[in-house]
């Protein structure tokens, strides 16, 4: 009992210290939900490093946004939904909260329910709820640059091109190997629709999370002999899939993954065995861009860097940098409307996220010249851009093999409308009316 | 001195069979409940509600359910996560499919779904026991993982397999604010805990304990093992199912099958073992230990190390948290193998005989 009281006393003391060290009100606060431990840490670490380094760089280079300093605090979720919710609740109470990025599909779903109540925008770049690109139905969600549906759509377009036209896909067999969670399942309606349109056979092959056990899946691949294989894997699952493909003898150049497969941790341990493996890419990685040079110079040279210097510019690191840039730009845009040099509220930042206009000129000013395609969001379009390219692993680096694709709005739009309406009807919610 | 039962004479069986035979106990418990309902809402912040109190209350309820099965009836179960999932998805389906389904009947029906599922997977307990049964109940866990991932009907054909609920209300009172959510869960917990406490003191509870202590002897004196074991499975999974529904509806708001993975089964088992097998009070202690301690460590460690000028990374905190947590579990089990509840009752006993220990 004595030990217990002592422990409680220490706890009370320490929380007292913690609350006195809270951020000042004149700072814009970016909660960082991370997972640096657990089954998916190989993905979570570089991603978070990129996000945090970008904030440090903006503070060092520009002194924040119009004089408003950018602060952040990390909270470890371990990719678990309940811990993510706890982190969100803990960090959302800080003064000057701008935007929350859940970093995991499961946490995104839970926070989608909470964000409208707290009036905090949710940013999910390249993941999250696919139908949430419909800003009329999901006022607080922002799946920038792409969703699982746009990714799947582009992959089918690319496969059609490889086969010599989308009509040539008729009679072909496409296997869909996916993480058996909302992440992997989300793309199925889109793929099914495409299968109906073009007449290819879609073979669904779920892999139980976290994805290290895939023997039975690859036995199925061996039996069914698909012409192409689409891989929606996350973290360790991608590596395992590549190793299994090698063992099964399935040609890696017939394997296509969404951007989460096109990362260094996915192929690093497989080495030559991953040669020819294709994946989507949303942006150009590497350290040649100005923004990466700034980060290296202002953050890493100043010994302020997060994580190892040689990982700067990796695919996932870049993902973090771009996400954070979009968030910071949203704050900047919001300040132009609501007052420069002020700390923005969640609602004001949301306005900024709905009015992002990053054309080629602006991207160049920001140091993202040649890194990504221009992007423009609106009240009803919360994605901004769905551009992606295909690249292939050559054993050492990712090499681009295609031009930019755009997801086909004609295919996506009716599906998004239908599913979003169903979502709203289930929840007895109405569409937004304040959009033009 | 103050904790003395001298002069408290029991003159009827009724008085002798009170839940809390000592007056001070009774006053203390009612005061505690009153404090939870009145004092806590005056003090707690939103973070405290949403991140600590609500998960704690719901997990206490789940641990209570598991304790009935594992602690009172001796049937080790690793399928508690599955029972929670069945409760959550069951209640969700009633809400989604029946127009204007009120919340409380939905929760109860969800619990009844879990009851049915629990009885079904409790059937092996008639043949096997101990570790073998633990493995058999693990099948419930895997079956529910599979079922809610693959059978689209259960998730109302949601393309991603994730479901959500909103606009919760009871008798027209919205359960939206953190305070309302907390009070609602707490009210359910108190009602269920009182029912459970009385149940384990009644004839059926004694049958469970007889089965736990020695099933052959119990059947010789006329206890039907089938009835006793399956009723324990039924009651336990009902409570766990309601807790699961609350976890999905009130705490998470939207969930996927991974929210009720095998991890949660293990956690619930740890709660019961650390809290104290066969003790209602122990369920609360265990839940507090498993739910609150990691968060407290997470909050305290950086600040504590900051005092000494050491900066610790997010991953570092997480790893240290796991190490401390593991060490504490081992330490507790060695020092107090009967769980925190035993520590509690030892403390009470010491107070009773103070200042003349014998």
ipTM value of the model? 0.82
Task: Give the model's pLDDT for residue A39.
Answer: 82
Which H or E run includes B90? Answer: helix B80-97
CA-based nearest residue to A329, from A123, A74, A137: A123
pLDDT band at B345 (very low <50, low <70, confident <90, very high): confident
Mutate: best of A426, A428, A429, partner B, most B CBs <10 A? A426
What pLDDT sits at residue B61?
97
For residue B47, give the nearest of A89, A109, A188 by CB distance: A89
- Return d(Cα A267, Cα B161) in angstroms, integer: 29
What local confidence, expressed as pLDDT, does residue B1 receive? 58
* pLDDT greater at residue A402 or residue A17: A402
Cβ B315–A1 below 8 Å, yes or no? no
Cα of A164 to nearest chain B Cα, Å: 31
pLDDT band at B283 (very low <50, low <70, confident <90, very high): very high
Tokens of A312: 């700067």
Spell out the domains of chain B, with CATH numbers in brackets. 48-353 (1.10.3470)
- Report the interhelical angle of B54-66 vs B225-246 (nearest 10°): 170
A45 in contact with B, Cβ within 8 Å: yes
pLDDT at residue A152, rounded to an integer = 94
Question: Is a pLDDT exceeding 70 seen at residue A11?
Answer: no
Angstrom CA distances, A199 to A153, A174, A178, A191, A195, stand at 15, 11, 21, 11, 5
What is the rounded CA–CA span in Å between residue A180 and residue B64?
A: 31
pLDDT at A22: 44
Which of A2, A22, A89, A429 to mutate to test binding with chain B, by most B CBs within 10 Å of its CB? Answer: A89
Tell me the average pLDDT across B72-77.
93
Which residues of chain B lie closer than 8 angstroms to A129, CB-CB? 160
Please name the member of A81, A426, A427 whose beta carbon is closest to the beta carbon of B252. Answer: A81
* Res B358: pLDDT: 66
Inspect the interface and report whether the beta carbons of B149 and A428 lie closer than 8 Å.
Answer: no
pLDDT for residue A111 is more than 80: yes
* pLDDT tens readout for residues A16-25: 444 444 444 5
What integer pLDDT is reported at residue A20 of this predicted model? 40
CB contact under 8 A, A82 and B96: no
The distance of B49 to chain A (nearest Cα, Å) reads 9
Average pLDDT of span B320-337: 87
Longest distance between any two alpha carbons in chain A, whole Å: 76
The fraction of chain B above a pLDDT of 90, given in percent, is 55
CB nearest A182 (choices: B176, B256, B347)? B256
Tokens describing residue B303: 């600040």
- Separation CA A71–CA A78 (nearest Å): 22
Nearest to B47 among A37, A45, A93 (CB): A93
Classified as helix, coil or strand, B173 is strand
Mutate to test the interface with B, among A44, A72, A86 (most CBs of B within 10 A): A86
Residue A9 has pLDDT above 50, yes or no: no
Query: What are the DSSP E strand ranges found in B138-287?
Result: 163-164, 169-170, 173-174, 254-255
Question: pLDDT tens-digit profile of A214-223?
Answer: 999 999 999 9
- Taking an 8 Å cut-off on Cβ atoms, the answer to whether B295 and A113 are in contact is no
Instruction: Name the one residue in this structure whose structure tokens are 């199912």.
Output: B241
Q: Before A210, cis peptide (omega within 30)? A: yes
Structure tokens at A436: 């033009």
Query: Using the beta-carbon criterion (under 8 Å), do A17 and B164 form an inter-chain contact?
Result: no
Predicted confidence (pLDDT) per residue in B159-192, tens digit = 777 888 878 888 888 888 899 999 999 999 999 9
Say yes or no to pLDDT of B76 above 70.
Answer: yes
pLDDT for A423 equals 86
Select from A252, A254, A250, A249 the least CA-distant residue to A271. Answer: A252
Q: What is the 3-state secondary structure (H, E, C) of chain A?
A: CHHHHHHHHHHHHHHHHHHHCCCCCCEEEEEEEECCCCCCHHHHHHHHHHHHHHHHHHHHHHCCECCEEEEEEEEECCCCHHHHHHHHHHHCCCCCECCEECCCHHHHHHHHHHHHHHCCCEECCCCCCHHHHECCCCCCEECCCCCHHHHHHHHHHHHHHHHCCHHHHCCCEEEEEEECCHHHHCCHHHHHHHHHHHCCEEEEEEECCCCCCCHHHHHHHHHHCCCEEEEECCCHHHHHHHHHHHHHCCCHHHEEECCCCCCHHHHHCCHHHHCCCEEEECCCCCCCCHHHHHHHHHHHCCCCCCCCHHHCCCHHHHHHHHHHHHHHHHHHHHHHHHCCCCCCCHHHHHHHHHCCEECHHHHHHHCCCCCCCCEECCCCECCCCCCEEEEEECCCCEEECCCCECCCHHHHHHHHHHHHHHHHHHHCCCCCCCCC
Contact A36 B313 (CB under 8 A): yes
Say yes or no for a CB contact (<8 Å) between B251 and A181: no
**What would the mean pLDDT of B109-129 be, rounded to a whole number?**
94
**Residues in A touching B255 (Cβ below 8 Å):** 81, 106, 109-110
Q: Across the interface, which of A110, A186, A427 has its CB nearest the CB of B255?
A: A110
Sign of CA dihedral B69, B70, B71, B73: positive
Query: Are residues A127 and A108 in contact, defined by beta-carbon separation less than 8 angstroms?
Result: yes
Q: Which of A24, A40, A44, A51 is nearest to A326 (CA)?
A: A51
pLDDT band at A196 (very low <50, low <70, confident <90, very high): very high
**How many residues does this entry show for chain A?**
436
From B183's Cα to the closest Cα of chain A, the distance in A is 18
Closest A-chain CA to B59: A82
> With 0-12 CB in 10 A as exposed, 13-18 as middle and 19+ as buried, what is A406?
middle
Minimal C-alpha gap between A209 and chain B (Å): 9
pLDDT at B67: 96
A109 at interface of B, judged by CB pairs closer than 8 A: yes
Residue B240 pLDDT level (bands cut at 50, 70, 90): very high
**Per-residue pLDDT reduced to its tens digit, B185-217:** 999 999 999 999 999 999 999 999 999 999 999
In chain B, % of residues over pLDDT 70: 99
The answer to whether B160 contacts A89, with C-beta atoms less than 8 Å apart, is no
- pLDDT digit string, tens, across residues B129-156: 888 999 999 999 999 988 998 888 998 8
Q: Please judge whether B252 and A37 are an interchain contact, meaning their C-beta atoms are less than 8 angstroms apart.
A: no
Residue B109 phi, psi (nearest 5): -65, -40
**What's the CA gap between B330 and A212, in Å, rounded?**
30
Q: Please indicate whether, in this complex, the C-beta atoms of A182 and B252 are within 8 angstroms of each other.
A: no
Judged by a CB distance cut-off of 8 A, whether residue A1 touches chain B is yes
pLDDT at residue B304 greater than cutoff 90: no
Going through chain B in order, the beta strands assigned E by DSSP cover: 163-164, 169-170, 173-174, 254-255
Nearest-Å Rg of the Cα atoms of chain A is 22
Find chain B residues with C-beta within 8 A of A41's C-beta. 315
pLDDT score recorded for residue B203: 94
Q: Does A86 touch chain B (CB under 8 A)?
A: yes
pLDDT computed for residue A19 by the predictor: 43
| pLDDT mean over A279-300 | 93
Residues of B in contact with A186 (CB under 8 A): 159-160
Which residue from B minimizes the CA distance to A12? B300
Closest Cα in chain B to A73: B314
Q: How far is A109 from B163, CA to CA, in rounded Å?
A: 8
Question: Which among B47, B258, B347 is the nearest to A181, CB-wise?
Answer: B258
Q: What is the pLDDT of residue B172?
A: 87
Task: Specify the residue for token string 């909470």.
Answer: A114
Looking at chain A, which residue has its C-alpha nearest residue B177? A117
Long-range pairs for A425-428: beta carbons < 8 A, 24 or more residues apart: A426/B96, A426/B156, A427/B164, A427/B166, A427/B167, A428/B166, A428/B167
The partner residues of A75 in beta bridges, in order of sequence, read A33
> Which of the residue ranges A265-269, B33-37, B142-146 would you say has the lowest mean pLDDT?
A265-269
Q: B72 falls in which pLDDT band (50, 70, 90)?
A: very high
Percent of chain A whose predicted confidence (pLDDT) is above 90: 59
The pLDDT of residue A376: 93
CB contact under 8 A, A426 and B254: no
Nearest to B285 by CA among B347, B341, B343, B342: B341
Q: Residue range A138-149: average pLDDT?
A: 92
Q: Tell me the nearest-neighbour CA distance from B308 into chain A, angstroms.
A: 12
Q: Is A113 on the interface with B (CB under 8 A)?
A: yes
Can you tell me whether residue B313 is helix, strand or coil? coil
pLDDT (average), residues A171-188: 90
* Residues of B in Cβ contact (< 8 Å) with A85: 50-51, 251-252
Task: Collect all residues with Cβ–Cβ distance below 8 Å to B166 and sequence separation of at least 6.
Answer: A113, A427, A428, A429, B253
Tokens encoding B280: 């209602």
CA distances from A57 to A52, A70, A272, A288, A357 (A): 9, 10, 36, 16, 22
What tens digit of pLDDT does each residue of B263-279 get? Answer: 899 999 999 999 999 99
C-alpha to C-alpha distance for A36 and A75, rounded to whole angstroms = 10
- Reference B225, options B234, B237, B216, B235; nearest CA is B216
pLDDT of residue A16: 42
The answer to whether B258 contacts A75, with C-beta atoms less than 8 Å apart, is no
* B166/A427 CB distance under 8 A: yes
Q: Which residues of A touch B162 (CB under 8 A)?
A: 106, 109, 182
Q: How many residues does chain B have?
A: 358
Give me the phi and psi of B279, to 5 degrees please: -150, 125
A9 touches chain B (CB under 8 A): no
Q: Domains in chain A, please, with CATH?
A: 27-146+285-386 (3.40.50.2300), 148-281 (3.40.50.2300)
| Token pair in block for residue B249 | 């509806």
Inspect the interface and report whether the beta carbons of A76 and B295 lie closer than 8 Å: no
Q: Across chain A, what does the average pLDDT equal?
A: 88
């Amino acid at each position: 009992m004595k030990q217990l009281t002592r422990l409680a006393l220490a706890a009370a003391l320490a929380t007292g210290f913690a609350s006195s060290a809270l951020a000042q009100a004149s700072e814009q606060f970016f909660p960082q939900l991370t997972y640096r431990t657990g089954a998916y840490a190989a993905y979570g670490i570089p991603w978070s490093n990129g996000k945090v380094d970008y904030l440090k760089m903006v503070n060092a280079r520009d002194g924040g946004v119009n004089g408003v300093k950018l602060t952040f605090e990390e909270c470890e979720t371990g990719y678990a939904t309940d811990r993510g919710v706890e982190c969100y609740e803990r960090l959302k109470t800080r003064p000057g909260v701008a935007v929350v990025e859940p970093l995991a599909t499961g946490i995104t779903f839970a926070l989608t329910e909470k964000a409208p109540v707290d009036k905090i925008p949710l940013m999910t770049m390249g993941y999250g709820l696919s139908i949430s690109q419909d800003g009329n139905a999901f006022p607080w969600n922002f799946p920038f640059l792409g969703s699982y549906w746009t990714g799947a759509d582009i992959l089918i377009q690319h496969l059609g091109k490889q086969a010599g036209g989308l009509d040539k896909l008729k009679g072909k067999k496409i296997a869909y190997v996916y993480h058996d969670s909302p992440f992997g399942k989300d793309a199925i309606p889109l793929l099914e629709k495409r299968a109906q349109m073009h007449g290819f056979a879609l073979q669904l092959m779920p892999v139980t999370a976290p994805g290290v056990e895939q023997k039975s899946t690859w036995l199925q691949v061996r039996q069914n002999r698909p012409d192409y294989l689409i891989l929606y894997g996350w973290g360790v699952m991608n590596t395992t899939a590549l190793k299994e493909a090698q063992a099964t003898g399935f040609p890696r150049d017939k394997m296509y993954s969404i951007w989460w497969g096109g990362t260094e941790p996915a192929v690093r341990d497989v080495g030559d065995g991953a040669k020819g493996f294709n994946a989507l890419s949303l942006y150009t990685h590497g350290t040649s861009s100005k923004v990466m040079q700034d980060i290296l110079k202002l953050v890493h040279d100043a010994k302020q860097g997060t994580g190892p210097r040689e990982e700067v510019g990796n695919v996932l690191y870049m993902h973090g940098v771009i996400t954070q840039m979009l968030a910071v730009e949203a704050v900047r845009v919001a300040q132009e409307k609501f007052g420069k040099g002020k700390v923005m509220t969640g609602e004001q930042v949301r306005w900024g996220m709905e009015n992002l206009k990053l054309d080629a000129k602006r991207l160049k000013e920001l140091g993202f010249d040649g890194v990504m395609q221009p992007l423009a969001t609106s009240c009803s379009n919360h994605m901004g851009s769905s551009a992606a390219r295909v690249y292939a692993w050559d054993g050492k680096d990712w090499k681009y093999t295609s031009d930019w694709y755009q997801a086909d709005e004609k295919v996506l739009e009716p599906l998004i409308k239908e599913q979003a309406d169903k979502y709203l009807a289930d929840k007895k919610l109405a569409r937004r009316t304040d959009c033009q | 001195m103050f904790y003395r039962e001298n002069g408290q004479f029991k003159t009827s069986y009724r008085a002798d069979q009170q839940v809390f035979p000592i007056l001070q106990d009774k006053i203390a418990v009612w005061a505690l409940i009153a404090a939870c309902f009145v004092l806590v809402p005056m003090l707690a912040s939103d973070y405290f509600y949403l991140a600590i109190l609500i998960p704690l209350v719901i997990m206490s309820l789940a641990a209570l359910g598991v304790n009935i099965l594992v602690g009172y009836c001796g049937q080790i179960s690793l399928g508690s996560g599955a029972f929670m999932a069945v409760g959550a998805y069951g209640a969700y389906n009633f809400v989604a499919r029946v127009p204007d389904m009120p919340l409380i009947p939905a929760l109860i029906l969800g619990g009844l779904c879990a009851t049915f599922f629990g009885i079904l997977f409790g059937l092996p307990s008639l043949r096997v026991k101990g570790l073998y049964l633990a493995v058999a109940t693990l099948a419930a866990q895997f079956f529910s993982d599979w079922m809610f991932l693959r059978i689209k009907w259960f998730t109302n054909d949601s393309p991603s397999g994730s479901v959500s609920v909103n606009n919760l209300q009871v008798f027209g009172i919205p359960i939206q604010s953190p305070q309302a959510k907390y009070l609602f869960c707490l009210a359910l917990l108190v009602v269920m805990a009182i029912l459970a406490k009385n149940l384990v003191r009644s004839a059926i509870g004694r049958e469970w304990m007889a089965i736990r202590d020695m099933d052959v002897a119990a059947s010789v004196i006329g206890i039907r093992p089938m009835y006793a074991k399956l009723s324990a499975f039924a009651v336990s999974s009902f409570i766990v199912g309601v807790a699961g529904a609350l976890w999905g509806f009130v705490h998470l708001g939207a969930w996927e099958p991974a929210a009720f993975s095998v991890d949660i089964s293990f956690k619930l088992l740890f709660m019961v073992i650390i809290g104290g097998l066969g003790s209602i009070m122990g369920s609360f202690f265990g839940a507090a230990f498993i739910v609150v301690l990691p968060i407290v460590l997470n909050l305290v460690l950086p600040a504590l190390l900051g005092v000494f000028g050491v900066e610790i990374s997010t991953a570092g905190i997480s790893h240290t948290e796991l190490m401390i947590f593991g060490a504490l579990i081992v330490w507790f089990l060695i020092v107090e193998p009967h769980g925190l509840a035993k520590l509690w009752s030892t403390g009470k006993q010491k107070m009773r005989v103070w200042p003349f220990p014998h």
